[in-house]
Amino acid sequence: MGDLLAQPRMRLYFLGNTLSTIGDYALWLAAGVWVKELTGSTSRAGLCMLCLIAGTLLSPLTGVLVDRVRRKPLLLVSNAATCLLVLSLTQVHHAGQVWLIYTVMFLYGLSSDITNSAMSALLPTMVPEEQLGSANGLSQALTQGQRLITPAIGLGLLAAYGGGAVAVLDAASFAAGLVCWALIKVDDPKPVRSGQSWRAETTAGFRFLARTPVLRQLTTALVLGLFVMGLFETLGLAVATVGLHHAPTWAGVIVTAMGVTGILGGLLAGPAINRLGPGRLTALGMALLSVSALAMAVPSDAVVVAAALVFGLGLPFLIVGSMTAVQLNTPGELMGRVAGADGFLITLGQSVGIASGSTLIAFLPYRDLAYGAAALLALAAGYLLTRPEQRQQAAADSSSGTDSGSGAGVSEPVGSAV
């Protein structure tokens, strides 16, 4: 970790990413409440997150863009454009202008796809392969830490000064990210056009995932795992209200507990990935989430908080392991499209999980939903642990990725999602 922070460009990388993410989460959390205040409609408020997810589902298309142009200039343009886009929200003052919030959230999802894919492609050119896991782990630790403060920042600004103030904060965070990336020196050669048709280029990421055993297995397990994560959107609220008989706001205790151990999980993920390899670290994360889901069914405050602590520890393992596996096993010229395809499948799985959870909770006791979530996560973890391709050490993964023409971390180089 110290070696990473000793590098000026990595300090800029983490600073820019951290500030941008604070702005992201503050606006994402505040947008739905803002719409609720303007319209009085809970269903219209829920459309904010739907619009954001709809934008992220275009990741296979944005992945083509990331692979067709130089990534650093693309990041600079994306940050600048999103900064101006978000500032347009300062003009929203009444219910008739809510359409602008929906439009911004959709385009925000599109921008996030571009940013995440481009950063995932550039990171392997900035650090040695053996430090990729540590770099992703530190990013996750910072992300989890931000979740402890961004609800207060976003909702506090909204309550005190209105949605326009949150938009200004978010725009400032993009401006900070723009300055940091402008100062980062990175190997970013102009990509060579493949000469393939648009359809072939758009599907190249999916085809690469399908024919690469390590990534195919990881993506299969992650789609199942993120489906379960979608269930937790409903399950967490049911645990707080039905299981523990608290007010809905008590779900904030669960989220805070997850954030505390999430920081620890991110810091531990780097050393762990060097011992276990990306695949087994991802499986360990899913196993911890399975234990957490099982404990969530126990009607005890102490047990549920402990379950949330376990959940927070396991989530960074899952994210860091899967992200590092993509970076180590993907050729640099395909990184944007593979990250886009992987993100599309995972987001789709999570979206189906959210819809399923909100439907099933009306017919099933929340405990049954928790037991089902635990079983599916255990199944996904067991699947990965029994695949020989996932038992490679990180160094072996790096070697195999390079042998296959990866170059990830040499000359031409994904957030995950939860």
Q: Looking at the domain assignment, is residue 417 inside a domain?
A: no
Is position 193 within any domain?
no
- For the chain, count helices (H), then strands (E): 17, 0
Mean pLDDT of the chain: 86
| pLDDT exceeds cutoff 60 at 395 | no
195, part of any domain: no
The predicted pLDDT at position 175 comes to 94
Q: Which residue has the tokens 């209200």?
A: 241
Instruction: Output the pLDDT for position 281.
Output: 94
Task: Quote the pLDDT of residue 256.
Answer: 85
* Structural domain contains residue 361: yes
- Alpha carbon distance 236, 80 (integer Å): 36
Q: Is 335 in contact with 74 (CB distance < 8 Å)? A: no
| CATH number of domain containing 346 | 1.20.1250.20
C-alpha span between 240 and 259 (Å, rounded): 17
* Mean pLDDT for the stretch of residues 313-330: 92
Whether the pLDDT of residue 371 is over 90: the answer is yes
pLDDT 10s digits, 174-214: 999 999 999 999 888 888 776 677 788 889 999 999 999 99
Those residues whose C-beta lies under 8 Å from the C-beta of residue 363, and which sit 6 or more positions away, are: none
* The pLDDT value given to residue 416: 35
Instruction: Provide, rounded to the nearest whole percent, the portion of the chain with pLDDT above 70.
Output: 93
Side chain identity, residue 210 = A
- What total of structural domains would you count in the chain? 1
- Reported as a single tens digit per residue, the pLDDT across 342-354 is 989 988 888 888 8
pLDDT at 405: 34
| Residue among 373, 232, 390, 377 nearest 322 (CA) | 390
Residues of the domain holding 102: 2-186+201-403
Is 314 a member of any domain? yes
Q: What is residue 400's predicted lDDT score, i.e. its pLDDT?
A: 40
State pLDDT tens for residues 29-78.
Answer: 889 889 988 988 877 887 888 899 888 989 999 999 999 999 999 999 99
Residue 258 maps to a domain: yes
Residue 416 domain flag = no
Is the pLDDT at 394 greater than 50, yes or no? Answer: no
Residue 167 lies in a domain: yes
